[in-house]
Amino acid sequence: MAAPKPPSEIARETLKLLAQRRLSPTPEHYQALYHEVAGTSPPPAFPVAPLRAIQRVLPAQTPAQKRLLNQFEHAVTQQHWPGLQSVLVGYANLAITPVSTASDEREAAAQVTLPPRLAEALARLLHNLLPALGEDDTRLLEMAAELQTQLRGPQARAGALEQALADFNHRLSFAAEDQSAIRAGLLTLLRLVFENIAVLCVEDDWLHGQAQGLMAASTPPLSLRRLDDVERRLKDVIHKQANAREHTAQAQAQMRELLAAFIERLARMDESSSTYHNQLEQCAERISQASRPQDIAPLLEEVISATRAMALSTRVAHGELQDLRSRAEARHAEVEQLRQELDRASAQARHDPLTGSLNRKGFDEAMSREVARAQRQGRPLCVALLDIDDFKAINDRLGHATGDQALVHLADVTRQVLRPQDQLARYGGEEFVILLPDTELDEAAQIMRRLQRELTTRYFLTEGERVLITFSAGVTRVQDESDSSDAVRRADQGMYLAKRSGKNRVVTA
């Protein structure tokens, strides 16, 4: 077998053959003759056309895809198989892990159109957010309006929105901080006002109790229900204060008037009695100097008429003083009537003065509101009725005033254990009801048991003595508006059963 010709030899013969056959010196002719001379077979032709067809359908949306497509184009032009291979591997990797850079992705994302429903949801979110921000920052409101317009535009591009949202977000963070500072400031002011009321009404236990209640109710965290409570309490206080002021002003005016009348009358009496005394002295003097009886007779006449005048004046004074006295009594009766009216007004108020919890009227109103809310939202509502165990013994042993403090302690612990939406009312002497919105029956019973446990660790302290307060409770679910009073009755029956079965327990009814 002949040794293979060296490439330089093959190249020379190929050129000779090109000339002999009068072929134009194209790379294709040269390559074909080269293989003929070398006795080798030519490589298969490069499939440019099919590759171009593939090139046309390759994706080129993201920057990474665009870059790969350029490489593909270059490899086809160069008929460079390794280049094509790396392009295809690149496309395959794109599908598995993103090989693009962060900036590529940002660029791509910038061109993405937001799905219309998402854009609309964002626009609505902004719309709902605005009322919470107040109207102080007009630029923020403008930015929000611009963003909404952009979001509701024909094609909301992520790129443009991203920047606008970032700017808005930046400004929003300051506005939100401001709002929260304003809220905290207002709350502090509110508490200051309540403290002031408490200081001003030190002499009125009812107002004092209400003011304490206001302070407790306005302590964060606030909820709409608690704000509602603050509003109601404040109305009660204003109502009671207005009455009290009127009462005091009237009483003062009457006192002044009566005092002035007495002083005037006393002055007049004093004046007339000193005139009388002067007259008598003068007459006595003239009588002692008179030598004849006929001179004395007119003097006696004078004494008699002065005495008569004095007696008349005394009678008048007596009558006037009687009149003043009956007027004073009438005023007293009026003041008493006012006081009774005031007490009636207090009874119409919604809060119990001793414990600061709702009274019956307040409870009835709260019950109607909560039943309506529960029905509207399709949520459960429970009511619990609790009665302190052996309260009479506490009263008998420690005194009524300490018994009162025990009631206050129970109300305080209960309020701390309950959630802000739960409402406590004093239903009778040592009987309380609790409204538990959004609560299923077994959950309500658990809440009451938790309160019982809490009372075993938080003793009522009086003069160094630790007094354990326990209670028996009945719990039931309120079905609807018409069930309100029946529900309280059922809870009462449950409480009664709890007492009968040994006290300090909770019975569901």
Ligand X SMILES: Nc1nc2c(ncn2[C@@H]2O[C@H](COP(=O)(O)OP(=O)(O)OP(=O)(O)O)[C@@H](O)[C@H]2O)c(=O)[nH]1
Which chain residues interact with ligand X by CB under 6 A? 387-393, 395, 400, 403-404, 407, 429-430, 499, 503
Of the pair 350, 499, the CB lying nearest ligand X is at: 499
Minimum distance, C-beta of residue 502 to ligand X, in the bound complex (Å): 11
Q: How far is the CB of 387 from ligand X (least distance, A)?
A: 5
Q: SS3 letters for 270-291?
A: HHHHHHHHHHHHHHHHHHHHCC
Q: Are 303 and 280 in contact (CB under 8 A)?
A: yes
d(CA 330, CA 338): 12
Query: CB 220 → ligand X: shortest distance, Å?
Result: 31
Q: Which residues contact 455 (CB under 8 A, 6 or more apart)?
A: 410, 413, 468, 469, 470, 471
Nearer to ligand X by Cβ, of 197 and 424: the residue is 424
Distance CA 235, CA 416 (A): 24
Answer yes or no: are the C-beta atoms of 345 and 239 closer than 8 Å.
yes
Pick between residue 34 and residue 391 the one whose CB is nearest to ligand X. Answer: 391
Nearer to ligand X, 400 or 466 (CB): 400
Alpha-carbon separation of residue 128 from 53, 121, 144, 148, 337 (angstroms) = 52, 10, 11, 11, 54
76 vs 394 by CB, closer to ligand X? 394
Question: Which residue minimizes CB distance to ligand X?
Answer: 429
Q: In whole angstroms, give the CA distance from residue 422 to residue 444.
A: 11
Is the CB of residue 195 less than 8 Å from the CB of residue 218? no
CB of 407: closest distance to ligand X in angstroms? 6
**Minimal distance, residue 386 CB to ligand X, in Å:** 11
Cβ 447 to ligand X shortest distance, Å: 21
Nearest approach, Cβ of 390 to ligand X (angstroms)? Answer: 5
Q: How far is the CB of 459 from ligand X (least distance, A)?
A: 18
Which three-class secondary structure string do you get for 287-351? HHHCCCHHHHHHHHHHHHHHHHHHHHHHHHHHHHHHHHHHHHHHHHHHHHHHHHHHHHHHHHCCE
In the complex with ligand X, the residue whose CB is nearer, 362 or 403, is 403
Going 32 to 35 to 36 to 37, the CA torsion angle's sign is positive
Q: Confirm if 386 and 495 have CB atoms less than 8 A apart.
A: yes
C-beta of 462: minimal distance to ligand X in Å?
A: 12
Could you tell me the smallest distance in angstroms from the CB atom of residue 429 to ligand X?
2
Provide the greatest CA pair distance for the chain.
204
Distances (CA, A) of 489 to 314, 370, 474: 69, 18, 10
At which residue do the structure tokens 């006696």 appear? 300
Whichever of 350 and 426 has its CB closer to ligand X, that residue is 426
C-beta of 179 vs 402, nearer to ligand X: 402
- If the CB atoms of residues 396 and 442 are measured against ligand X, the closer one turns out to be 396
Q: What residues are paired with 433 via a beta bridge?
A: 385, 425
Rounded to 5 degrees, φ, ψ at 422 are -80, 150
C-beta closer to ligand X: residue 243 or 395: 395
